[in-house]
Amino acid sequence: MSEPEFVTPEVDAAFAAFRREILPRVRPAGLDPVRRTVRRRRNVRVAGIALLAVVAIGVPAAALRGGGGPVRPAASPSPAVSGTLSGLPSTAPGALPTCNLSFMDVETGQVQANASQPFVIVKLTNATDEPCLLAGYPQLKDFHVRRDGHDVPNAEVVVQHGSLYAVPDPGAGTLRIPPAGTASFAVGTGTAYTGPVSTIATATLTFHGDKRITLNLPANGPAGQPIPATVTAYARGSDAGR
């Protein structure tokens, strides 16, 4: 073990004696306490996540039920979800935690188009060591819209759920995303309306945590109405279920 040029017999002997003396006295506590500790930590984590979910769902829901203001009619037949809770899972099968965007890698693909309907696919990768759950439809909010190189303040974007020409909507479901696993969804707009075409430059994707994503989607809408955008539900894999 010792290199010849560093021979120190006193040290060799001391370590040998130390091992002889101490090792028989070392009696590790065993794996059972380890298993108990791991179980306890998992329970605490699950309880914490459940509590957060209850707060996240319960508080805004209570505010809505409590008559927090007039309810705006939907701008389209599909349910409008700009800033709503529809992306949150209602159940947690297997007691897995819901995915936290702070611990997911989010990539936005190139803008593609099909039949005057530009779209991008957004890919999410679970960057943790634990599986997690993604449910329902992505929530997008805080859209940043530009037109002719200038910001359009207060531009309204209404998000609908459903299929795009190029990307079918898999429908709301709950996906188990393993470590390094991916899920994806598509965001599409339309450019076939009369009137100037804007660009939805960025939006905030929100679930557990927020992430600003770049879309750069050309878009326009009916005159005097919000710009419609369509999102598909989360799909397994990186191509939004195409």
Options 14, 54, 62, 64; binder of another protein; rule CB under 8 A: 14
Of 130 and 210, which has the nearer Cβ to another protein? 130
- Strand arrangement of the beta sheet that strand 198-207 belongs to: 150-151, 139-147, 198-207, 209-219
Residues in the chain, how many? 242
Cβ atoms of residues 230 and 160 within 8 Å: yes
Taking the complex as a whole, the smallest distance from the CB of residue 36 to another protein amounts, in Å, to 7
15 near another protein (CB under 8 A): yes
Find the DSSP H helices in 66-162. Answer: none
Taking the complex as a whole, the smallest distance from the CB of residue 181 to another protein amounts, in Å, to 14
Taking the complex as a whole, the smallest distance from the CB of residue 39 to another protein amounts, in Å, to 10
Of 9 and 149, which has the nearer Cβ to another protein? 9
Taking the complex as a whole, the smallest distance from the CB of residue 179 to another protein amounts, in Å, to 8
17 near another protein (CB under 8 A): yes
Burial of 153 (0-12, 13-18, 19+ CB in 10 A): exposed
Cβ atoms of residues 227 and 220 within 8 Å: yes
Cβ atoms of residues 97 and 142 within 8 Å: no
Q: Which run of H or E residues covers position 65? A: helix 31-65
Taking the complex as a whole, the smallest distance from the CB of residue 17 to another protein amounts, in Å, to 7
Cβ atoms of residues 120 and 200 within 8 Å: no
Which residues in the 19-58 window bind another protein by CB under 8 A?
A: 19, 21-23, 25-31, 33-38, 41-42
Taking the complex as a whole, the smallest distance from the CB of residue 70 to another protein amounts, in Å, to 49
Q: What are 174's strand-pairing partners? A: 135
Which residues in the 123-182 window bind another protein by CB under 8 A?
A: 129-130, 179
8 near another protein (CB under 8 A): yes
Residues of the shown chain interacting with another protein in the complex, contacts defined by CB under 8 A: 1-3, 6, 8, 10-12, 14-15, 17-19, 21-23, 25-31, 33-38, 41-42, 129-130, 179
